Amino acid sequence: MLRFNLYSSAGALGELLATYDKVGEHLDESYISILEAARNTQSKLLGIELAEMESDRMDPQPVCGPVRIVKAELFRNASTLCGLVIGVSETAYRMAVIQETGQRGTLRVFTLADSQDERTAADFVESMQDLFKVSLNSRDVMSDRARSLIGEGLAQIVVAEQAEHAAARTLAGKDARELAVAIKSGSGLLVDLAKQMGSDGQAGLPSVRERLLESDLVVGETVVLCGKTGQAISRVRSRSTLDAMADAGLRCSCGKPANEEKIEEALSITELGRDLLDKSRWMTLVLIEELLHIGVSPDHIFVEQQFDGDEIACIAIISGDVVLFELRDGRFSLGHAHSFNAKIGIVQPDYSMVVTTEKIGNDAKIHFDRRRQAVRKNMPRPYVDESVEPLFVEGISNLRAGLEDLVTNLVTKDARRVLSEVLPLAGITPGTLLRGWTTRSHG
């Protein structure tokens, strides 16, 4: 998974520029500068002095407000890309020119690296902090929707107990979940469960039962069955409880002491188990855990949000973009696609993701495909926002990979925006080239 980190700080422009000139000697030779090397090469190719190569400034882009870039450099260190930008806001620039006062500038530092290998990126940021003597604040490239959503003041997640997360993780296993559902909806008698599981499931039953017991999703019980009628007459926590109650006089309705009747082992669902299975809350907890794992701030996770009455939505702001999640324990078919579309209409996310425990039906896929084509037709732009169609994750075991792919996509988009401001500094503009020639013809 790719990570793009952006930091910024403000300072006096003069000081920032003076420090910028020392960056080269401050970094060791494992950092290879890219923009300067590119300009050098072009200067040689064209026979134009490097000093004349100062390229025309590009149009300001609104990533961090309209900023005029004064100096910028990119460095590659092995597989990490590091960037450094000194800029002034357009208004500050004009004001300072008019008033001839000391200008305020902005320092931006960014890194692009794989999440497994962020050491160099962190070193670079720290090194720039030391050199410029500023504290760099991390910032997300926020989408408009993310900004407005934060403004809406949604309820934040209540962080669940570790035990709840562990139990949810247990239910993410299909065999454990099926057994828990069978226990919740049936008698819970082990003999019945074994029959329900069939010959394949029976072999694994002891280990699955153990997992459910360890996670406090179910508890073991002793069931007393009347030898005459075959009816279950009572359920108690343990054999010893039963003996104590029989000693105290508990008898079956047929008259026999309760502990002399037929005894069977059973499992019954706990309050925690019931809570996690209802409305598939376990999926929400697994999603939260995975979002935290990929580095989403808890402040940017909004689950079980009520929109327009009954509609419940899980939303997260990932890398500055709003992502709406649909969690479904079971198959996702056309009907679900329709109701999810309604949610998309209300929440208006930048991206959406459907996570199911089973397959996503072809009818649903065709529906989203048609919808995308319809939107594409109405879009005059040369490019189409790829966010129209939800991303699909079939099976909880694929959730982490699905989220990592999503993050890589979002991060690439952010990096593209920032790089598109900086990279023109590597090239020459027609104006620069022609100025070089004009000078020659006069010289």
**Which stretches of the chain bind Zn ion, using CB under 5 A?**
226, 252, 254, 256
If you compute the radius of gyration of the chain from its CA atoms, what whole number of angstroms results? Answer: 32
For residue 178, report the phi and psi dihedrals to the nearest 5 degrees. Answer: -65, -40
| Residue 329 CA to its chain's centroid (Å) | 20
Which lies closer to Zn ion via its Cβ, residue 172 or residue 233?
A: 233
* Residue 32: DSSP 8-state: E
How many whole angstroms from its chain centre is CA 249? 59
Closest CB to Zn ion among 250 and 294?
Answer: 250
CB closer to Zn ion out of 183 and 224: 224
Q: Which is nearer to Zn ion, 198 or 255 (by Cβ)? A: 255
| HSE, side-chain direction, 13 A CA sphere, residue 132 | 31
Task: Give least dist CB 231 to Zn ion, A.
Answer: 8
- Smallest separation, CB 217 to Zn ion (Å): 32
| Residue 178 beta carbon to Zn ion: minimum distance, rounded to whole angstroms | 33
User: Which is closer to Zn ion, CB of 154 or CB of 232?
Assistant: 232
Q: Measured between alpha carbons, how far is 88 from 103 in angstroms, rounded to an integer?
A: 8
Backbone angles phi, psi at 61, to 5 degrees: -120, 145
Q: Of the two residues 32 and 254, which places its CB atom closer to Zn ion in the complex?
A: 254
The DSSP result for 203-256, as a single string, is HHHHHHHHHHHHTTSEEEEEEEE-TTT--EEEEES-HHHHHHHHHTT-B-TTSS
Question: At its nearest, how many Å lie between Zn ion and the CB of residue 259?
Answer: 12
Name the burial class of residue 4, with classes exposed (0-12), middle (13-18) and buried (19+) by CB atoms within 10 angstroms of its CB. buried
Using an 8 Å Cβ cutoff, are 11 and 134 in contact? Answer: yes
Rounded Cα distance, 152 and 28, in Å: 46
Q: Residue 226 Cβ, how far from Zn ion at the closest point, in Å? A: 3
- Rounded distance, CA 171 to CA 277, Å? 8
Pick the closer one to Zn ion by CB: 236 or 391.
236
Smallest gap from residue 242 Cβ to Zn ion (A): 14
Q: How far is the CB of 262 from Zn ion (least distance, A)?
A: 9
Q: Quick one: which of 372, 365, 368, 405 has its CA closest to 386? A: 372
Q: What's the rounded Cα separation, in Å, for the pair 378 and 26?
A: 52
Residue closer to Zn ion (CB basis): 104 or 262: 262
Minimal distance, residue 263 CB to Zn ion, in Å: 12
Calpha distance 347→427 (Å, rounded): 42
Which one, 76 or 256, has the nearer CB to Zn ion? 256
